[in-house]
Amino acid sequence: MNSFLPISSQDMADKEWDQLDFVLVTGDAYVDHPSFGAAVITRVLEAQGFRVGIIAQPDWTTPNSLKVLGRPRLGFLVTSGNLDSMVNHYTAAKKKRRQDAYTPGGKAGKRPDRAAIVYANLVRQAYKGMPVILGGLEASLRRMAHYDYWKDSLRRSILLDSKADLVIYGMGERAIKGIAAALDKGRPVSSIREIPGTLYACPSDEVPKEALILPSHEELKAKRSRFAQSFRLQYENADPFTGQVLVESYGSRSVVQNPPAKPLTREEMDEVYALPYAREAHPSYTEPVPAVEEVKYSLVSSRGCFGACAFCALAFHQGRIVKSRSHDSLMEEAQILIDDPGFKGYIHDVGGPTANFRDPACAKQGTKGACPGKRCLAPEPCKALKADHGDYIQLLRKLRSLDKVKKVFIRSGIRFDYLQADTTHDFLRELCEHHVSGQLKVAPEHVSPDVLRVMGKPKRQVYERFVERYGQVNAQLGKKQYLVPYFISGHPGSRLKDAIILAEHLRDSGFIPDQVQDFYPTPGTLSTCMWYTGIDPMSGKNVHIPSDGLEKAMQRALLQYNRPENRDIVRKALRKAGRGDLIGRGPKCLVPAEGDYMSPSPGSRNSRPTPSRGRRGEAPASSGRRGRRGMAPGQNAQGPSSRGQKSNQGKAASHNSGRSGNQSNRPQGGTKNRGRGKRR
């Protein structure tokens, strides 16, 4: 096993080091695995010849907890961990979570709220004048003024609240190498202003002349429409090829955001994943870190996502330009998995934020960037889209052929619209025959055309064609495999009538979700901007926001209309929407009338014999959602289910992805983090 980086003075003594160059502070347990941002950043620095140590989950009540490794020569790197600390701590209903998958034993409470700010301020108390560089998902998505759902207010750039010197946003390997080299040459951190993928603060009269000036913080607070305008400008400048320098003013001080760093080349990605990771949680822990189990036997094959769903923060964090690793690199890592004593013959995942994306959406993206203001897949696939699964199919076949590999699963999200756009390869057949572990997770998210348009998702008919084709392929293969669709309740643009359309779809399909994902407004997404402003920032049009507590509860209950405890609120919702025809004993009714305790709905589990079921699955640790039942097309059968936060791979600890909206926040980058929030 490869050795871990120092976490104590004794570890430093064992290496005969009297001082470190950098100390990284993280809100996660220390897991030296390439799906954890802290591990990637520290190994990248180590490969550059720097001495790096890690302080994981320090006691945030005392600055002494940051003195265990002494004063570093060059600076402190700070990250809240692989997830935003507020999403890590609270549900969409703002209730405290009971577990933390990134902590030994899954114990909650090992990091503070707004951990990046707390840790950075703690460094200032421990070491005066010490350079502080902030990174990871939490910092990346809060880099400019942002709506904070938990306080229901607008917050300043995290650069100012943390008192950090620099913020690294996005995938941070390039930026951290540039910063480290500059500091090593003796440059004061205040002079490091040129590195792509970073933010710095300066007097307002020193901002670059070529910069694009965003509305000031005072303007944003005074008028929400200005926040929508600012968000659009930021969104349109989130591309490394076309992005401009952005400036946000706070009186006499300004925050300056340099353009995004260019994504790593395939060769550079291969180098990052070939670094000498121990691939385990630190041996000092007496209890396992749950998130490790989700990624231990999985492979990260790509980064970035051109899906551009409104509720997902990937465009703001990993970016829309997809880059992937070489087959040789993935085969070499697969052999490391095979050689692990605990390997049972199953590779759990080969994917990224979206598993079946391996290359940029079109030839232009790789050299000129993604088109601002346009989506590659919605509402219709772009004519320039190159939908091709050939390379991915060949990779999966190579992995399946390895000695001691019994099965290669794909548990990351699959874009069914992209899959159907590929007319040259029958990837669906390959997927169903070899890579589905009894169920396939897909994310139509909704079926109402109005909501799908706001979400940036394909039309309902695209999903229905996929469901039909999935059933046909499995029938041809003689397989009984389930489809597990995910839906969001209460998303911007969704009215009661839209929630009823979705409920009717569930009734007609015979699918009732075990758990419902309520929309979660997290920083860095178009949907969160809509939630705060009531405006679609891309079109400038007003959007209905179901922020009223009763309406949110109604929309959520409609997705589980068959539950006895939901009947009263579902009846209230149906009557409010003028759909009393869905109350009663008719074949299309969702709930019985008051006093009638028979469930009339053909879509309800209570109205028919119990269907055949598979085992239930817990959602992955990185998941923003939990298990649901899924239905095999053409059957009233229910099977196991689980969901990845996405975060990006579809796993809990995917090296900083950042899906949001259900935050899948998989952070990566910066002092790294990788979420579908995954989605969400």
Tens-digit pLDDT profile for residues 243-282 = 999 999 999 999 999 999 999 999 999 999 999 999 999 9
Residue 388's nearest CA partner among 419, 355, 348, 434 is: 419
The identity of residue 187, as a single letter, is R
Dihedral (Cα; 289, 293, 298, 299), 10-degree rounding: 0
Whether omega for the bond prior to residue 587 falls within 30 degrees of 0, making it cis, is no
- Would you state the pLDDT for residue 8? 97
Please indicate, yes or no, if residue 52 is contained in any of the structural domains: yes
Please indicate, yes or no, if residue 36 is contained in any of the structural domains: yes
Please count the other Cβ atoms lying within 10 Å of the Cβ belonging to residue 497. Answer: 12
Please indicate, yes or no, if residue 87 is contained in any of the structural domains: yes
Instruction: List C-alpha distances in Å: 1 to 43, 276, 278, 283, 354.
Output: 15, 9, 6, 11, 31
Give CA angle at 22 (270, 30), nearest 5°: 65
Which pair of tokens denotes residue 668? 């990566």
Under-50 pLDDT residues of the chain: 599-680
Please indicate, yes or no, if residue 224 is contained in any of the structural domains: yes
Please indicate, yes or no, if residue 483 is contained in any of the structural domains: no
Please indicate, yes or no, if residue 481 is contained in any of the structural domains: no
For the chain, helix, strand, coil in percent to 5 are: 35, 15, 55
- Would you state the pLDDT for residue 596? 80
- Would you state the pLDDT for residue 373? 82
Please indicate, yes or no, if residue 664 is contained in any of the structural domains: no
Which pair of tokens denotes residue 40? 């990637």
- Would you state the pLDDT for residue 670? 34
Cα 146 to Cα 498: distance, rounded to the nearest angstrom:
28
Give CA angle at 523 (517, 529), nearest 5°: 85
Cα 162 to Cα 496: distance, rounded to the nearest angstrom:
41
- Would you state the pLDDT for residue 515? 79
Pairing of strands 482-489, 439-445: parallel
Please indicate, yes or no, if residue 324 is contained in any of the structural domains: no
Which pair of tokens denotes residue 70? 């002494």
Structural domains of the chain, count: 1
Residue pair 294/621 in contact (Cβ under 8 Å)? The answer is yes
The identity of residue 206, as a single letter, is E
Residue 158, domain extent: 9-257
Which pair of tokens denotes residue 336? 């490391």
**Residue 535 per-residue DSSP state:** B
Residue pair 485/630 in contact (Cβ under 8 Å)? The answer is yes
